[in-house]
Amino acid sequence: MDRTRVGMDVRLLRRRRGWTQEQLGSEAKVSRSTISAIEHGRAERASMSTLIAVVEALGARLSMRIYWHGEALDRMRDERHAALVDRILRVMIAHAWVAQSEVTFNEFGERGSIDVLACHPGSGALLVIEVKSVVPDLQDMLSTLDRKTRLAPGLARRAGWRVRSVSRLLVLPEDRTVRRRVAHHSVTFDVVLPLRNAAVKRWLRSPDGPIAGVLFVTDVAQDDKRPNS
């Protein structure tokens, strides 16, 4: 975390609201001296919960990032994402789906790409697949998935696919950390993406009507960690 940048941003947002340090401290339920320390780049004196409270009092959101060997961590994350995409493509093809990866769109100013867009010719089922190597910011991810699901039928029709139903699927790596994160947000997941592995796999074999769910899959990195049998 860039403590100097955090301090500058806090001060900028505080002044934009026309607040004194004391007023911000009152809103965040911390002392004025804590606000002063943060604004002067001494954020290490405040706990993470305090920093979050101060930033949220300003109507903002605190974001952190881990750096390791320059861009090496980004490359590792991209490699894992690519491995997960490869796995789900294999699954789709094995179940007689026609699938495309990295399907880009530019519809009415909305731009982006769908990790995997798949169609089941026999049933006319269209599936929008979002692949994540980690559980992301939940609300942002769900909003993005909603947008892609809304635009997917138009993309499919232009590809010549017959669409009778549209479904959504979130693909995540099978590991304990990811499982705990999903469990932590179980209420949201159970409402928005209720189906899990066994039910999703049954549907993939014989799609009937729209579904929304989560599929946990192993990736190459995990397979490499397993002892040889």
Q: Is the four-CA dihedral 142, 112, 205, 79 of positive or negative sign?
A: negative
Q: What gap in Å lies between CA 161 and CA 99, rounded to an integer?
A: 11
For the chain, what percent of residues have pLDDT higher than 90?
A: 66
Q: What is the pTM of this model?
A: 0.68
Could you tell me the CATH number of the domain that includes residue 177?
3.40.1350
Task: Name residue 59's amino acid.
Answer: G
Residue 147 lies in a domain: yes
Say what the pLDDT of residue 224 is: 42
| 79 and 16 assigned to the same domain | no
pLDDT in tens, 86-138: 999 999 999 999 999 999 998 877 889 999 999 999 999 999 999 998 887 78
Mean pLDDT of the 19-33 span: 95
**Residue 56's pLDDT band (cuts 50, 70, 90):** very high
How big, in percent rounded to 5, are the helix, strand and coil portions of the chain?
Answer: 50, 20, 30
* Structural domain boundaries enclosing 151: 72-225
Q: Is the dihedral of CA 111, 114, 225, 184 positive or negative?
A: positive
Q: Answer yes or no: is 64 within a domain.
A: no
**98 and 146 housed in the same domain:** yes
Give domain status of residue 65, yes or no: no
pLDDT of amino acid 46: 81
* Structural domain count of the chain: 2
Percentage above 70 pLDDT, the chain = 89
Q: Is residue 62 part of a domain?
A: no
Q: 63 in a domain, yes or no?
A: no
* DSSP string of 29-58, one letter each residue: TS-HHHHHHHHTT-GGGS-HHHHHHHHHHT
What CATH number is attached to the domain comprising 14?
1.10.260.40
| 169 membership: H or E segment, kind and range | strand 165-173
